[in-house]
Amino acid sequence: MRIYLLGLFLLAFSQFACAAAKIENWQTPQGTRVYYVRTEGLPMVDIQVVFDACSARDGQQFGLAALTADLLDTGAGKWNADEIAQRFENVGAQFSVSSSIDMATVSLRTLTDKPLFDKALETMQVILTKPVFNEADFKREKNRTLAGLKQQEESPAELASIAFYNTLYGKHPYAHPESGVIKTVAALKSTDLRHFYQKYYVAANAIVVIVGDLSKQEAEQTAEKLVAGLPVGKKQEALPDVVMPLKSTQQHIEFPSTQTHVLVGLPGTYRKDPDYFDLYVGNHILGGSGLVSKLFKEVREKRGLAYSASSYFIPMLKPGPFMVSLQTRNDQTAQAMQVLNQTLTDFIAQGPTEAELVAAKKNITGGFAMRFDTNKELSSYVAMIGFYAMPLDYLDTFQQKIEQVTAASITDAFKRRVDPQLLQTITVGKSAEKSAK
Amino acid sequence: MNNRLLCAALLCLPAFTSSAETKVFEHKLTNGLKVLVKEDHRSPVAVSQVWYKVGSSYEPGGITGISHMLEHMMFKGTDKHSAGEFSRIIAENGGDENAFTGQDYTAYFQTMEASRLAVSFELEADRMRHLHLLPNELKKELQVVTEERRMRTDDNPQAKMAEQFNSIAYSNSPYKHPVIGWPADIANYTVDDLQAWYQRWYAPNNATLVVVGDVQTKAVFELAEKYFGALKPSDIKAIKPQTEIEQLGVRKMTVKVPAKLPSILMGYKVPVLKTAANAWEAYALEVLVGVLDGGSSARLSSELVRGKQIAVSASAGYGLTSRISNLFMLEATPAEGKKVSELESALKAQINKLQQNLISNEELQRIKAQVLASDIYQKDSNFYQAMQLGTLETVGLGWQKADEYVAKINQVTAEQVRDVARKYLLEDRLSIAYLEPQTINTRTEKKGAK
C-alpha cells in the first residue's frame, strides 16, 4: 500500500506518466464516487467497490467487519454460495472480497466480452445489494474465522504483529486485528452482520474503481448498475485521532520458536500528511529499499544476523504504524536489537547523506513506471487515490514532490515524527536461550 | 478446433485470443545461450530473467541446498564488482531485482525501465562466469541462510510437516530433500563446494535468458550477443535420472510440532508432462486438480468446506511442469470437532468418486473457461509470462508448451479424467502425513507502562 512514483526520465517515460495519470472521476446519482482508467491491449477489466467498512469500524465487536465481508458471496438474491461461485467461474471471472484496517474491497476481474461480462457484473451487483446472511452460512464462516484465529497463535510473526498494533494503538480502533479475536468473534450473531451491512454498505460510503478495456460510457453504466441498488445512506464519521504513546515500552512474549521476532516502532504517518514524502524517501534509505537499505546492510550484509531486516510506514486514514522488523536466532536477539536500534537512532540523529539521498531518488524515479505496469497494480493505486480522496493529479505531482525532498527535510521530519523516546518494542521467541548465552 | 471448443465453454470466444500478438522469438548464441523475447508494449518496462538448469533436484547428499546457497553468493561480487555492487547499480537504475531457487531451476531477475536492459545484461553476463566466492562472505551468508531456514521451515508447522512428508514419500527421487537444504548440510558448505557447483552449472550453454516487455526483439538479440556472446561455454554433463522406485504400499507418518490445529497431507505418485507416457495423462491430471480445487465452485470447497463442513480449508495441487515425476497433493485442515481420520475418509471418497463417475460436462466446461480466462489475465504481468517461458525451457519441455496449454486442456475429456484417477490415485501410490499439534505455552512480560 505504499506509494512511490516519479519520473524525470526521457520521452517514452514522460508520455507514460501522462497516460498513467489519466484518471477520470465522477459521481453516480446516489453519490458514489467513480474512478476510471482505460487500459487497452487486453480484453479484461478489474472492478473494485471499496467501502469504508473495515476493522476500524468494528466498535467493540472486533472481527465484525471482516466477517460481514466474508459472508457477502455465501448467499445473495436467490443464489446460494455454490451458485454464486459457478456463475463467476463459468465465465472465467475471478471474484474476491478483502479486508484491511481501513477498507473493505469487493473485487472482480473479468473478460470484457459482453455475455461473459454481463453475467459476472450481474452476479457482483446482487452480492453487493442483496446478500442474505443466512444462519447456516454464518455459522460455518464464523467457525472458519475462529479456526484461522487459532492458527495465528502458532506463528511468532503473527503474535508479534498483533501485540505491536495493540501496544501502539491502545483503545484506538486500529489496535485490534482485522479478523478480530476469538472472544469477540465467538460472540457475534448473524443479526450483527446484517446491521453492520445496512449501515456501512451504502452508496455514500463507497467508491467504484474501474481499470481496463471498457469505454467511458460502459464504465458509467457499470458503476451505475453496481451501486444503483444500494441505499444512499451517509458517509461515516471521521475516525478518532491516534494518541501517541507517552514513553517507550518493551513487551516480550515467550514462545517455543527457534527465532525471536523483533518489532520496533510507533504510530507514523497518514495519507494526507504534509511530512509524507520526507518520511517516505527517508524510510526508503533507512529500511524500505530491499537489498540496499541501511538496515539490510547493517543487519544482514555486514553481520549475517537475519534473513530480512526492513522498515516501513503504513499510511492510512489516521497515522498507521512505522515498523522496523527483523527475526534472528534466539541467542543473538540482544545483539541484533542493538544493531537495529543503533541504525535507527543514528538515522534519526544524522539523517541521510547526500549520496544516499541521490541514490534513493534515482531508484524511486527510475522505477516509476514499474509501480503500476499491470492492471492489477494500477487498480490498487487508483483505489488508494479514490478512497483517501487524494488529488487526481496525485501521480503527476508525485515526481516533483520526491524531488523537493532534501536531506535536511528528511532529518527534520524524522526528528519530529520518530522520537526514540517513544518507541515501542515487541519480541516474540524463546528467552531462555537468550539468557543462556 | 481451439476456437470451437472455447466458444462452447464461454458462450462466445473473443476474437483477440489469437496468439499472434504475443509471439515468442528464440535465438541461440554460438556459445549455447538461448535467448527468448516476448514483446509487450503496454508499459515502458521490461523484465529480464536468467535461468540456470540447476536446482535442488540436481544435488547429491551432503550438499543439499547448495544451489540456493550459491544463489545468495551470486550477489557477493565478481572480478569487476565488489560485494553488494550488483544490487546498488540495479537500484540506482530504478530496478527491482532478486533471485529464486526451486527444485529444477535457479533464476535471477531484474525489472527495469525498458531502455536500461543493457545494465542488467552487463551485470548478469559478468556474474555468469566471473563470480568471486570469498570465505568471509560465505561465513556471513551461511548465517543468513540458516536464519532463512528457521523462518521459513523450522518455526512454521505446515512447512515443517511438508518437509518431513517429502522425505518419506520419496524413496530415491531427489525431490526427497528440501530446496533450502538439510541443516547439517547448510552448516558445512565450503568455498570449494560452492566453487565446484558454480563451475559445473553456470555457463551460457546451461542457461536461458528471457526478456518480456517494451523491447524490440532484434535489438535484444544484438544486446545479448554484445554482453553474453564472449562468455565461454562449459562441458555440461547430464545428471543421472534417479528415477523413483515403485512404491509398494501406503506410507503414513505423524509429525508432532508446536501448533494449534491438526492437518493432513496426502500425496499420490503421478507422472508429469515431461515423464508421462502419454502427454494427455498430465493434462488430464491438471483438469482433475481443477475439478477438486479450481475455485470456490470446485468440489473441495463446495462439498467438504461448505456441504459436509468437515474441513475449514482443503486444497489440491499438481506440478504439471516439473522435471521429474512428483506427487498429486491434497492438503486439508479439519473443522472444529471433526477428526483427521474423518477428513481422510472424506478426501478418499472424493478420489473414489472421480474413479467411479465421469465428471459432469458443466464442470469440464467451467474448468476450460477458467483456463482460457486465466491465460488472458496472465498476460497482464510480464513477470509471469517470463516465468512461464523460463520454467518450461529450463525443465526441458520447451517454451512452446506455453502456447499449447489452452488447446491441450481443451482436448481433455471426462473419460480421461476418470482414467488417470483410476490409474494413478491408488492407495499403493499414496503417502500420508498427519500433523499432531503439541501444546504451545506462551507467557507475556511487559516493561515500562504507557
What's the ipTM? Answer: 0.93
Nearest to B42 among A41, A155, A327 (CB): A41
Q: Does A397 touch chain B (CB under 8 A)?
A: no
HSE-CB at B430 with a 13 A cutoff on CA atoms is 18
Q: What is the pLDDT of residue A155?
A: 97
**Cβ contact (<8 Å) for B312 and A147?**
yes
Judge whether residue A12 has pLDDT over 80: no
Region B368-374: mean pLDDT is 96
What pLDDT, on a 0 to 100 scale, did the predictor assign at position A135? Answer: 98
Active site residues of B: 71
User: Taking CB atoms and an 8 Å limit, are A369 and B372 in contact across chains?
Assistant: no
Q: How far is CA A30 from CA A69, A124, A227, B322, in A?
A: 22, 18, 8, 52
Whether the CB of A166 is below 8 Å from some CB of chain B: the reply is: no
Nearest residue on chain B to A136, alpha-carbon basis: B306
pLDDT at A436 (0 to 100): 41
Give yes or no for residue A84 having a pLDDT over 80: yes
Q: Do A43 and B16 touch (CB under 8 A)?
A: yes
Map chain B to HEC letters: CHHHHHHHHHCCCCHHHCHHHHCEEEEECCCCCEEEEEECCCCCEEEEEEEECCCHHHCCCCCCCHHHHHHHHCCCCECCCCCCHHHHHHHHCCCEEEEEECCCCEEEEEEEEHHHHHHHHHHHHHHHHCECCCHHHHHHHHHHHHHHHHHHHHCCHHHHHHHHHHHHHCCCCHHHCCCCCCHHHHHCCCHHHHHHHHHHHCCHHHEEEEEEECCCHHHHHHHHHHHHCCCCCCCCCCCCCCCCCCCCCCEEEEEEEECCCCEEEEEEEECCCCCCCCHHHHHHHHHHHHHHHCCCCCHHHHHHHHHCCCEEEEEEECCCCCCCCEEEEEEEEECCCCCHHHHHHHHHHHHHHHHHCCCCHHHHHHHHHHHHHHHHHHHHCHHHHHHHHHHHHHCCCCCHHHHHHHHHHHHCCHHHHHHHHHHHCCHHHEEEEEEEEECCCCEEEEECCC
Torsion sign, CA atoms A134, A135, A137, A138: positive
Residue pLDDT, tens place only, B294-340: 999 999 999 999 999 999 999 999 999 999 999 999 999 999 999 99
Integer Cα distance of A17 and A20 in angstroms:
5
CA-nearest residue of chain B to A426? B446
If you average pLDDT over residues B88-114, what whole number do you get? 97
Whether the CB of B276 is below 8 Å from some CB of chain A: the reply is no
Chain B environment of A123 (Cβ under 8 Å): none
CA distance A64 to A199: 13
Closest approach of chain B CAs to the CA of A342, in angstroms?
A: 20
- Pick among A110, A150, A151, A378 to test the B interface (most B CBs inside 10 A): A151
Residue A291 to residue B91, Cβ atoms within 8 A = yes
- A191: which 3 cell numbers? 443479526
Residue A386 · residue A315 · CB < 8 Å: no
Interface membership of B80 toward A (CB under 8 Å) = no
Strand partners, B48: B110, B211
Res. B449: pLDDT tops 60: no
Whether A32 contacts chain B with CB within 8 A: no
Compare all CA atoms of chain A with the CA of B310 and give the residue at the minimum distance.
A140
The one-letter amino acid at B109: F
User: How, if at all, do strands A33-38 and A206-212 pair?
Assistant: parallel
For B11, the grid coordinates are 458462450
Residue B16 has a CB neighbour count (10 Å cut-off) of: 15
Question: Which residues on A lie below 8 Å from B313 (Cβ)?
Answer: 144
CA distance B224 to chain A (A): 22
Amino acid of residue A64: L
Q: Does B19 touch chain A (CB under 8 A)?
A: no
Output the pLDDT for position A314. 97
Q: Chain B within 8 Å of A353 (Cβ-Cβ)?
A: no
Residue B74 confidence (pLDDT): 98
Tell me what the mean pLDDT of segment A131-149 comes to: 98
Residues in A closer than 8 angstroms to B297, CB to CB, are 82, 85-86, 88-89
Taking CB atoms and an 8 Å cutoff, what residues of chain A touch B96? 290, 367, 370
Nearest beta carbon to residue B155 from set A258, A297, A306: A258
Q: Residue A16 above 90 pLDDT?
A: no
**Average pLDDT of A372-388?**
94
- Rounded Cα distance between A105 and A129, Å, is 14
- A104-111 and A44-51 as β-strands: parallel, antiparallel, unpaired? antiparallel
What's the CA gap between A8 and A375, in Å, rounded?
A: 23
pLDDT at residue A21, as a whole number: 53
Residue range A198-245, pLDDT digits in tens: 999 999 999 999 999 999 999 999 999 999 999 999 988 999 999 999
- In angstroms, rounded to a whole number, what is the distance separating the alpha carbons of residues A149 and A161? 13
DSSP letter assigned to residue A297:
I
Q: Which of B98, B112, B123, B150 to mutate to test the interface with A (most CBs of A within 10 A)?
A: B150
Q: What is the pLDDT of residue A432?
A: 64
Q: Which residues of A touch B376 (CB under 8 A)?
A: 42-44, 111
Q: Report how far Cα A197 is from the mean position of its chain's Cα atoms.
A: 21
List, as own/partner pairs, every contact residues B445-448 make where C-beta atoms lie below 8 angstroms and the sequence separation is at least 24, other chains included: B445/A251, B445/A252, B445/A253, B445/A254, B446/A249, B446/A250, B446/A251, B447/A249, B447/A250, B447/A251, B447/A252, B448/A247, B448/A248, B448/A249, B448/A250
Is the Cβ pair B144, A246 closer than 8 Å? no
pLDDT in tens, B410-422: 999 999 999 999 9
Average pLDDT on B7-25 reads: 49
Q: How far is B203 from chain A (nearest CA, A)?
A: 25
When scoring A4, A46, A137, A154 by the number of chain B Cβ atoms within 10 A, the one with the most, hence best to mutate, is A154
Residue A396's pLDDT is: 83
In degrees and rounded to multiples of 5, residue A297 shows phi and psi of -65, -45
- Å between B448 CA and nearest CA of chain A: 5
CB distance from A297 to chain B under 8 Å? Answer: yes
pLDDT of B431: 98
Contacts of A373 in chain B (CB under 8 A): 42-43, 45, 382
CB contact under 8 A, B44 and A292: no
Q: Which of B16, B113, B145 sits opposite A9 (nearest CB)?
A: B113
By percentage, how much of chain B surpasses pLDDT 70? 94
Side chain identity at residue A142, one-letter code: K
Mean pLDDT over residues A276-292, rounded?
96
Q: Which helix (H) or strand (E) holds A107?
A: strand A104-111
Which DSSP letter does residue A219 get?
Answer: H
High-pLDDT (> 90) share of chain A, %: 88
Task: Provide mean pLDDT across the span A323-340.
Answer: 98
| Closest residue on chain B to A7 (Cα) | B94
List, for residues B171-195, the tens digit of each pLDDT value: 999 999 999 999 999 999 999 999 9
Touching check for A365 and chain B: CB below 8 Å?
yes
Which residue did the predictor score with more confidence, B17 or A164?
Answer: A164
Contact A292 B87 (CB under 8 A): yes
CB contact under 8 A, A12 and B301: no
Q: What percent of chain B has pLDDT over 90?
A: 94
Q: Does A376 contact chain B (CB < 8 Å)? A: yes
Output Rg (C-alpha) for chain A, integer angstroms.
23
* Of B84, B214, B380, Cβ closest to residue A376: B380
> Is the Cβ pair A370, B45 closer than 8 Å?
yes
Chain A residue with the nearest C-alpha to that of B151:
A259
Nearest to B445 among A86, A94, A252 (CB): A252
Task: Output the pLDDT for position B21.
Answer: 54
Chain B's closest residue to A160, CA to CA, is: B444
Query: CA dist B16 to A217, A218, B12, B373, B376, Å?
Result: 22, 19, 12, 12, 10
> What residues of chain B, 163 to 202, have a C-beta less than 8 Å from chain A?
none
**Contact assessment for residue B225 and residue B29, using Cβ atoms and an 8 Å cutoff:** yes
**What is the distance between the alpha carbons of residues B52 and B64, in angstroms, rounded to a whole number?**
17
Strands B251-258 and B430-438: parallel
User: Over chain A, what is the mean pLDDT?
Assistant: 93
